[in-house]
Structure 1
Amino acid sequence: MILVTGGAGFIGANFIFDWLSINNEAVINIDKLTYAGNLQTLNAIEGDGRHHFIRADIGNRALLSSLLAKHRPRAIINFAAESHVDRSIYGPDEFIQTNVVGTFNLLEAVRGHWSGLAKDEKTSFRFLHISTDEVYGSLAPDGAPFTETNRYEPNSPYSASKAASDHLVRAWHHTYGLPILTTNCSNNYGPYHFPEKLIPVVILNAIASKPLPIYGDGQQIRDWLYVKDHCSAIRRVLEAGKVGETYNVGGSNEKTNLDVVSTICTILDELQPRNDGRSYTEQITFVADRPGHDHRYAIDARKLERELDWRPTETFDTGIRKTVAWYLANQEWTDAVTTGSYRQWPGTHYGD
């Protein structure tokens, strides 16, 4: 079996769905269930005997050690992280605790487990750490996309905490020999994306007749990766990646934030038109820019393509249409996961 941390979150849950759709290997799913981790997301595999959920914090080393001893997974995929830049600006403490201290405790628990394995099990064991392109900093408009050899230049508390976790993972390999793999991905989007990130915020605000907030002038550029493509890349890296290596995962879909929002509005105009017949673009509202906002991210994923024969299957146009359609068809899920304290967040951050 494999063990997944953060498997009730956006990418982690999608990975588990993808994993169970193609093989019968069991998954131990560990998640702390913060505001962005929801059991409702896992309803589709409720009752599936191959999925075992355990509520746990990766910072709890003793519990992790006991779980590893009991279940003896052959691989661990670490999705567990605080991931929202805006929240990291308001309160960086949780990002340091989860992304840095939590990763350290997870690594130590895994190192203890791995050290006690038989020789063949040690050789085949893998620890796959999921990270972000934001650790590389911001690109100039004409700068070459990030490669795996780019210098780390994180600019937000979130990206700094992820950079620290990447360095810890690297150090545990070079110092202790832990067989690690690292992936740095571009912006993900797709089903089950928690409604605080740009794409789900725009979809849900649009159909609720609320403003569609865009930072600054909306010209910030991101490389967009459909989450199911990301999942296939992770499976491929786990299967054939070289121990100790880092692989960038991107969608080759650079878009400005304004372009993304306008595209969503066009799709909604077609799939669920406004009652007054006017375009959703009229709801676009420009808000004060994020402090220290990185202007551009872009991923060069040629290493992954060249060495492991992976490439994305979705263009942005196909992926975003699937995403909009999913949110329109699954509003019960969004209602369920945006209750309680989350409802206070948009007003706190964007203002009324």
Structure 2
Amino acid sequence: MQINQLVIAHFRNIANAQLEPSQHVNVIYGENGSGKTSVLEAIYTLGFGRSFRTHQVRQVVQDEHEALTLFTRTQDSNESDTQKVGFRRFRNGETEIRINGETERKFSALARLMPIQLITPEGVTLVTDGPKERRQYMDWGLFHVEQNYYSHWLTFSRLLKQRNSLLKQRSYHQQGGEYWDQQLALAGEAVTEARVRYLDGLNQKLNKYCQQFLPQYQFEFKLQRGWQEQQSLAEALAAKLELDLRQGFTSVGPTKAEWQIRVDGIDARERLSRGQLKLLVAALRLVQSADYFDRLGKRCVILVDDLPAELDAENQQRLCNALLESGSQVFITAIRKEELEHRFKDTEVRLFHVEQGTIKND
């Protein structure tokens, strides 16, 4: 997928802007606070229905306006038809989504139409923070490439909510808790089996990218399911029932899964520097993008905020080379265009200068 046109209105400090990006590399540059990251944020919002910087809608909608408006025309590289996507978010949290002129009510429609990968300096939390972000990483990929995964996940979530309600209300035995456990175990096993298949498919590519960025290390990626390996989920639920009854919630299952990343046998969080963690996260995002293309024949749009930050010249070039090799449309921010322009030789690079919310095409 590539963006042919992007319109931004009343989004942070951008009153009105229209961009016609390159299908290859787009460098958005300007001083800190100028609004360059807001361009990436707007694109991300079109793919996720929310900002990556805040959950507070009022912080994103420009002052003295009731709503922000985003519009884009997109096109798959192997198709001639364009898709028109409009998104409006109001201060009160209400949302309007229109795709090709038709009203759409589900954010999932945006996600399927606009697959976005984001690399930011803060994105190292994918590795450094708790397992929730790593589960979200797995689930994003599965949502896009496994047709039945979303329905499995919805079924599991509904059943888990039902079981937790029975546990909290102390009515597990009276309301047929064993039956719900059987259904929950089936749904949870389906979710976990899909995660195992997905990560197995990524592992070979992951090691290739990690060797490209960090050749001095050996990487190991392992999924911990969220219950003991030798048990089925049904057995694990039964074994933890007494504990769950006391606590009032379910203590095992896919929502407790962890994806371990080890470097030379040591937790990546303890082994790698901040700059190396950024490269590792970039590898994870690029691998997921490559897997998406291999499975569906379509490319993600890749957003990179402040690429030069925390990387020396050699690693900046490595990341730029990998972005080019991905074949994806790329949007990158930097303070000065000179930091990046020379790193993309023999490639169309479109420059956008941002100053106090005004965007100009160089």
Q: TM-score, normalised by structure 1?
A: 0.24
Higher strand share: 2
Point out which structure has higher relative CO (alpha carbons under 8 A, 6+ apart): 2
Larger Rg: 2
Q: TM-score, normalised by structure 2?
A: 0.24
